[in-house]
Structure 1
């Protein structure tokens, strides 16, 4: 299958570079586009919509240090990033509409192999709500 638009779910750690590398490799191989998404779930859903920080730089619902870290992911790659969505709350609740509205056909996310991830799996929530293929990369 040829993926035309890959969405990468990022967290604020350098582990996200593994996901970016995988997405860029696939996009270069298939001639596809890449977008990023990050959700800050630490304060609940204080902002209902996702903001594309590639086009809307005024009303970003995240702290400046989070935005600075996310911008390093844009700088990390030499591949063009189509959109960079950020928001608050639970990604799985906003995922379906974001994927459909942006013609995404592959979602890439990471899964940590640690104690907490064996108890609470965020990947499971994404799998249950995603209308497209998902690549879950072990981190």
Structure 2
């Protein structure tokens, strides 16, 4: 099977080197478009269900801007071109489904960190 659009799901707090290498190698073999995605899991509904408030201060840099900059830094480390980085906020599976449908993604590469 030849993939057309491969996306690497990245953790902004983790080491994404292996994912980048595997995604780049597969994209090169398939001559596919390679992108990055980060889903910022939205916790506000959980806080409000507990009766807690979430606040956004006017001096804060929006999380999406910070995440976009981090994804750009990760993309520059790739041995294969990554022209597109995607940052979304919400529940993981529904947000991934929206991006799959909207962008014609046919493979998402995830990593998993094991605690020793």
**How much has 1:64 moved relative to structure 2?**
5.2
Name the residue aligned to 2:94: 93
**Cα distance in 2 for residues equivalent to 1:73 and 1:15:** 10
Say which SS state the counterpart of residue 34 (structure 2) adopts: strand
Counterpart-to-counterpart distance in 1, 2:83 and 2:104: 12
Say which SS state the counterpart of residue 38 (structure 2) adopts: strand
Report how far residue 89 of structure 1 moved. Answer: 2.4
- 1:83-139 per-residue CA deviation (whole Å, 9 max, x = no partner) reads 211022222121112112111111100112238xxxxxxxxxxxxxxxxxxxxxxxx
Residues 68 and 87 of structure 2 are in contact (CA less than 8 Å); yes or no, is this contact kept in structure 1?
A: no
Of structures 1 and 2, the one with the larger relative CO (CA 8 A, separation 6+) is 2
Moved over 4 A (4+): 42-45
Q: Which structure: greater strand fraction?
A: 1
Q: Does 1:41 align with 2:41?
A: yes
**What is the alpha-carbon distance in structure 1 between the residues aligned to residue 74 and residue 67 of structure 2?**
11
Higher-Rg member (1/2): 2
Aligned length: 101
Distance 1:61 1:43, change over 3 A: farther
Structure 1 residues 99 and 65 mapped into 2: Cα distance closer, same or farther (>3 Å)? closer
Aligned residue number for residue 6 of structure 2: 6
The two structures have a TM-score, normalised by structure 1, of 0.61
Structure 1: stretches of 5+ with no match in the other structure: 46-59, 116-139
* Kept in 2: contact 1:62–1:87 (CA 8 A): no
TM-score scaled by structure 2? 0.72
Q: CA RMSD in A?
A: 2.4
Cα 1:111–1:14 shift into 2, 3 Å: closer
Structure 1 7/24 Cα, relative in aligned 2: closer, same or farther at 3 Å?
same
Change (3 A) 1:3 1:100: same
